[in-house]
Amino acid sequence: MPPKRKAQAPLDDDGGFDSGAEEALSDQETFDKLRDSFDVKAMSRRLRATHATDPASFLFKKCDQWDAQLKPDHINRPLWVDDAGRIILESFSPIFKDAQDFLINIAEPQSRVSRIHEYSLTAHSLFAAVSIGKSSKEIIDTLERYSKTALSPSVISFIDKSTSSFGKAKIVLKKTLSYIESDDPTILQRLLKDATIAECRADTTDGLIMEAAPRIGVMAIPGTKMAAGANQVAHQVAEAAADPQAPSDMIAALREEDDDDEEVAQVHSFQIKSEERERVVKRCQDIGLPLTEEYDYETDMVNAKLDIDLRPHAQIRYYQEKALGKMFSNSRARSGIIVLPCGAGKTLVGITAACGVKKSTIVLCTSAMSVVQWRAEFLKWSNISSEDIAVFTSESKNRFPRNAGIIISTYTMITSTRNRSYDAEKVMEFIRSREWGLLIADEVHVVPANIFKKVTYSIASHAKLGLTATLLREDDKIEDLNFLIGPKLYEANWQELSEQGHIAKVQCAEVWCQMTPEFYTEWLKPSSVQKRALLSIMNPRKFQACQFLIEYHERRGDKIIVFSDNVYALEKYAKKLSKAYIYGDTPQAERLRILENFQHNDQVNTIFLSKIGDTSLDLPEATCLIQISSHYGSRRQEAQRLGRILRAKRRNDEGFNAFFYSLVSKDTDEMFYSSKRQAFLVDQGYAFKVITRLEGLEKRTDLAFYTTHERRELLMDVLLSKDADAAEEKINGDMFGSKFASTGRKGRKKNGARRTAGTLSELSGGQDMAYIEYNKSRNKELKTKVVKNGFLRKLQRGTANAKKAAKE
DNA sequence: CAGGAAGGAA
DNA sequence: CTATGTCCTTCCTG
Q: How many CB atoms lie within 10 A of CB A69?
A: 10
Footprint of strand B on the protein (CB under 7 A): A 417-418, 445-446, 449-452, 473-475, 587, 632-634, 636-637, 640, 785-788, 791
Nucleotide nearest to A473 (CA to C1'): B10
Q: Distance (Å) from CA A519 to C1' B10?
A: 27
pLDDT band for A722, please (50, 70, 90 cuts): low
DSSP category for residue A147: B
Residue A306: what pLDDT?
95
Most confident of A246-255, A460-469, A789-798: A460-469
Beta strand residue intervals within A132-276, DSSP E: 169-174, 177-182, 209-212, 266-272
Residue A231 has pLDDT above 60, yes or no: no
DSSP string, A333-400: EE-EEEE--TTS-HHHHHHHHHHHH-S-EEEEESSHHHHHHHHHHHHHHB---GGGEEEESSS-B---
Range in A6-10, A435-439, A476-480, A557-561 with the lowest mean pLDDT: A6-10
Whole-angstrom Cα distance, residue A371 to residue A407? 10
More confident residue, A12 or A697: A697
Nucleotide nearest to A612 (CA to C1'): C8
Share of chain A above pLDDT 90, in %: 39
CB of A512 closer than 8 Å to CB of A666: yes
Nucleotide nearest to A394 (CA to C1'): C11
Q: Distance (Å) from CA A582 to C1' C12?
A: 25
Residue A382 has pLDDT above 70, yes or no: yes
Nearest protein residue to the C1' atom of B8, measured from CA: A449
Nucleotide nearest to A449 (CA to C1'): B8
Whole-angstrom Cα distance, residue A442 to residue A636? 15
Helix (H, G, I), strand (E, B) or coil at A441: strand
More confident residue, A764 or A680: A680
Average pLDDT of the segment spanning A99-113: 92
Q: Distance (Å) from CA A446 to C1' B9?
A: 9
pLDDT band for A68, please (50, 70, 90 cuts): low
Q: Distance (Å) from CA A283 to C1' C10?
A: 32
3-class secondary structure for A68-105?
Answer: CCECCCHHHCCEEECCCCEEEEECCCCCHHHHHHHHHH
Nucleotide nearest to A567 (CA to C1'): C7
Q: How many CB atoms lie within 10 A of CB A371?
A: 24
Whole-angstrom Cα distance, residue A233 to residue A249? 15
Nearest protein residue to the C1' atom of C8, measured from CA: A584
Residue A189's H or E segment, with its range, is helix A185-193
DSSP category for residue A668: S
Helix ranges restricted to H, A647-788: 669-683, 708-720, 729-736, 749-759, 765-776
Residue A476's H or E segment, with its range, is none
Query: Domain segments of chain A: what residues?
Result: 50-164, 169-294, 316-497+788-792, 504-733+743-781
CB of A626 closer than 8 Å to CB of A597: no
pLDDT band for A263, please (50, 70, 90 cuts): low
Residue A238: what pLDDT?
43
Most confident of A107-121, A227-241, A254-268, A411-425: A107-121
Q: Distance (Å) from CA A275 to C1' B5?
A: 26
Nearest protein residue to the C1' atom of B5, measured from CA: A418
Beta strand residue intervals within A183-234, DSSP E: 209-212
Range in A8-17, A322-331, A435-444, A648-657 with the lowest mean pLDDT: A8-17
Q: Distance (Å) from CA A658 to C1' C2?
A: 37
Q: Distance (Å) from CA A137 to C1' B3?
A: 63
Average pLDDT of the segment spanning A236-242: 44
Range in A25-34, A369-378, A727-736 with the lowest mean pLDDT: A727-736
> How many Å is the Cα radius of gyration of chain A?
30
CB of A7 closer than 8 Å to CB of A687: yes
pLDDT band for A798, please (50, 70, 90 cuts): very low
Residue A751 has pLDDT above 70, yes or no: no
Residue A572 has pLDDT above 70, yes or no: yes
Nearest protein residue to the C1' atom of C13, measured from CA: A421
Q: Distance (Å) from CA A275 to C1' C14?
A: 36
Note whether A316-497+788-792 and A504-733+743-781 share their fold. yes
Q: Distance (Å) from CA A289 to C1' C1?
A: 35
- Write phi, then psi, for A699 (nearest 5 degrees): -85, -10
Residue A266: what pLDDT?
85
- Rounded to the nearest 10°, the torsion over CA A193, A194, A200, A203 is -10
Whole-angstrom Cα distance, residue A34 to residue A517? 8
Residue A422: what pLDDT?
85
Residues 6+ apart with CB under 8 A from A722: A568, A754, A796, A800
Footprint of strand C on the protein (CB under 7 A): A 367-369, 393-395, 410, 412-413, 416, 418-421, 424, 530, 565-568, 583-585, 610-612, 616, 632, 722-723, 748-751
CATH annotation of A504-733+743-781: 3.40.50.300
Nucleotide nearest to A779 (CA to C1'): C5
Q: Distance (Å) from CA A269 to C1' C3?
A: 46
Nearest protein residue to the C1' atom of B1, measured from CA: A587
Residue A610 has pLDDT above 70, yes or no: yes
Whole-angstrom Cα distance, residue A365 to residue A431? 16
Q: Distance (Å) from CA A590 to C1' B2?
A: 17
Nucleotide nearest to A412 (CA to C1'): C10
Tens of pLDDT, residues A198-225: 999 998 777 888 887 755 433 332 222 3
Nucleotide nearest to A632 (CA to C1'): B10
Nucleotide nearest to A448 (CA to C1'): B8
Residue A297 has pLDDT above 70, yes or no: yes
pLDDT band for A747, please (50, 70, 90 cuts): very low
Residues 6+ apart with CB under 8 A from A92: A115
Nucleotide nearest to A446 (CA to C1'): B8
Q: Distance (Å) from CA A716 to C1' B1?
A: 38
Nearest protein residue to the C1' atom of B2, measured from CA: A788
Mean pLDDT over the full length of chain A: 76
Q: Distance (Å) from CA A584 to C1' B2?
A: 15
Q: Distance (Å) from CA A560 to C1' C7?
A: 22
Q: Distance (Å) from CA A387 to C1' C4?
A: 47
Helix (H, G, I), strand (E, B) or coil at A312: coil
Nucleotide nearest to A788 (CA to C1'): B3
pLDDT band for A45, please (50, 70, 90 cuts): very low
Residue A273 has pLDDT above 70, yes or no: yes
Q: Distance (Å) from CA A394 to C1' C12?
A: 8
Average pLDDT of the segment spanning A575-593: 88
**Bases of chain B within 7 A of a CB of the protein:** 2-10
Average pLDDT of the segment spanning A497-514: 92
- Write phi, then psi, for A561 (nearest 5 degrees): -115, 130
CATH superfamily of A316-497+788-792: P-loop containing nucleotide triphosphate hydrolases (3.40.50.300)
Q: Distance (Å) from CA A610 to C1' C5?
A: 16
**Bases of chain C within 7 A of a CB of the protein:** 5-13
Nearest protein residue to the C1' atom of B4, measured from CA: A785
Residue A286: what pLDDT?
87
Average pLDDT of the segment spanning A55-83: 69
Residue A265: what pLDDT?
76
Written as one letter, the residue type at A693 is: R
pLDDT band for A693, please (50, 70, 90 cuts): confident
Reported pTM: 0.77
Residue A62 has pLDDT above 80, yes or no: no
- Write phi, then psi, for A619 (nearest 5 degrees): -130, 80
pLDDT band for A504, please (50, 70, 90 cuts): very high
DSSP category for residue A167: T
